[in-house]
Amino acid sequence: MEVEYKKKFLKELSKLPVEYAKTIEEFIFDDYRVGIKKENNCVIIETVKHRREIYKYFP
């Protein structure tokens, strides 16, 4: 399976506090959510936002 990171996600990731950004591969966040979409045989990691904001921008 292929994994693709959107530019938007990487930009948002760079703005996170270091302790959250370091754990991205394990997807362990306290107050942050990752927007992930699966298309065909590819996982697309689209966005990372605070839990208050994710539902406004990601379905």
Separation of CA 30 from chain center: 13
- Cα–Cα distances (Å) from 52 to 15, 16, 32, 42, 49, in that order, read 16, 15, 9, 27, 8
Q: How far apart are CA 16 and CA 11, in angstroms?
A: 9
**pTM (predicted TM-score):** 0.56
Q: What pLDDT is attached to residue 32?
A: 83
Q: Which domains does the chain have, with CATH numbers?
A: 2-57 (3.30.2310.20)
Q: How far apart are CA 48 and CA 28, in angstroms?
A: 12
State pLDDT tens for residues 24-46. Answer: 555 546 788 888 777 888 878 88
Q: What pLDDT is attached to residue 2?
A: 77
State pLDDT tens for residues 10-23. Answer: 888 888 777 666 55
Among 36, 3, 5, CA closest to 13: 5
